[in-house]
C-alpha cells in the first residue's frame, strides 16, 4: 500500500512538474510559489497545500477558458459553462489515490520553498 502511494506521488510529480507543457508548469509552480510565500508558519502546511491545489485548478480552468478563439455561434458564457462542466467532470473522475498524490506532491514542494525562504530570510 505504501509503495503504491509513493509510486502515485512520484508519477504525479513527474507528470505535473517535470513533463508537463510549459503553461501547466507555470500554473503549477506559480500556485506553489504563492502558497509558500503566503505561509507564515510550518503548521499552516495543510491549508496552504489546499490553497495551492485550488489555485492550480483555477489556473487550469482559466487556461481552458481562454484557449482558442471563440466561434461566431458561441458566447463567452457558453464557453465558461462548458469549461466548468468539463473541469468538474475531470475532477469527479479522479481517484482518491491520485488526489492524495497531488496533495503530497504540492505539500513537499511548498515545504521545500518555505524552508528555503526561512533559511535565507534569517540571514
> Along the 123 residues of the chain, how does pLDDT read in single tens digits?
788 878 888 888 788 777 768 888 899 899 999 999 999 988 899 999 999 999 999 998 888 888 766 666 777 777 788 888 888 888 888 888 788 888 988 999 999 999 999 998 875
Contact status, residue 45 vs residue 111, Cβ threshold 8 Å: yes
45-51 contacts at long range (C-beta below 8 A, 24 or more positions apart) = 45/107, 45/110, 45/111, 45/114, 46/107, 48/110, 49/103, 49/106, 49/107, 49/110
C-alpha count within 13 angstroms, C-beta hemisphere, residue 87 = 17
Helix %, strand %, coil % for the chain, to 5? 85, 0, 15
- Helix (DSSP H) and strand (DSSP E) numbers for the chain: 5, 0
Phi, psi torsion values for 68, nearest 5 degrees: 75, 155
Amino acid at each position: 500500500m505504501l509503495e503504491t502511494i509513493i509510486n502515485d506521488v512520484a508519477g504525479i510529480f513527474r507528470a505535473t512538474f517535470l513533463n508537463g507543457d510549459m503553461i501547466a508548469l507555470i500554473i503549477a509552480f506559480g500556485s506553489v510559489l504563492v502558497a509558500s510565500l503566503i505561509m507564515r508558519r510550518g503548521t499552516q502546511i495543510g491549508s496552504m497545500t489546499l490553497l495551492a491545489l485550488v489555485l492550480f485548478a483555477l489556473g487550469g480552468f482559466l487556461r481552458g477558458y481562454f484557449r482558442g478563439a471563440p466561434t461566431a455561434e458561441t458566447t463567452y458564457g457558453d464557453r465558461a459553462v462548458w469549461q466548468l462542466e468539463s473541469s468538474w467532470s475531470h475532477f469527479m473522475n479522479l481517484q482518491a489515490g491520485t488526489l492524495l498524490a497531488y496533495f503530497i506532491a504540492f505539500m513537499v514542494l511548498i515545504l521545500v520553498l518555505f524552508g528555503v525562504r526561512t533559511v535565507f530570510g534569517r540571514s
